[in-house]
Amino acid sequence: MSESGLILLGAGGHARACIDVIEQVPGFKLGGLVGEAGEVGRKVLDYPVLATDADLPVLRQQYECALVAVGQIHTAKLRRQLFSRAEAAGFHLPVIISPHAWVSRHASLAEGTIVMHGAIVNAGASIGRNCIINSHALVEHDAQVADHCHISTAAVLNGGVTVEQGCFVGSGSIVREGVRLGENSLVGMGAMIRHDLAAGDRVPGGRK
């Protein structure tokens, strides 16, 4: 089986976690990372930081695929920007699924999304573009997650939850079945969400 050349957009902690997943997924050969100017030339888990995102059109001549590997907590702005720049440069943005995750064959995942180790995406769930389904997160049946969202470590979206674009759902938080999280809302670590959130709402974490 031939391998597709892949670069990661981002060179921080989330990129390290993405590397660990990608190394276990057949079909991709990781060539390096894209970072900030001061990061170029250093290595992340033995992979070089090749260039900045200004160099994406040049990198596209060598690499077919790209994945946004910047984490997201307060805002999805940078992930959106990098995804758009990769698209404009002509990169293919693949779906990456850890072999240690479970994704139902009755679920759908859109381009540029990564499903990390131990995550579960159940039947009827839909995940949009450029999302992170982080380690041990649970996306239950018929939940709908729009583009540019981060469902963080061990977060739970119960059945029929709707997560609009650009949301962050923090580690260990639980969203009740059927609840809607408005665009760009933020759910803090450990929060219990029982009612709909309006666009831009920010709910603090459940414990100090």
Binding residues, as ranges, are: 71, 150
Binding-site members for acetyl-CoA are: 150
Catalytic pick among 74, 141, 148, 195:
141
Tell me the C-alpha distance between 55 and 146, whole Å: 29
Neighbours of 40 (CB within 10 A): 16
Q: Enter the tokens of residue 98.
A: 């850890």
**Binding region for substrate:** 71
Give the Å distances, CA to CA, from 178 to 47, 82, 138: 42, 31, 15
Q: Is 141 one of the catalytic residues?
A: yes
Which whole-number Å values give the CA distances from 93 to 5, 84, 113, 120, 157, in the listed order? 11, 11, 8, 21, 25
> Which residues make Cβ contacts (< 8 Å) with residue 139, sequence separation at least 6?
107, 119, 120, 121, 122, 125, 127, 133, 145, 151, 157
Known catalytic residues are 141
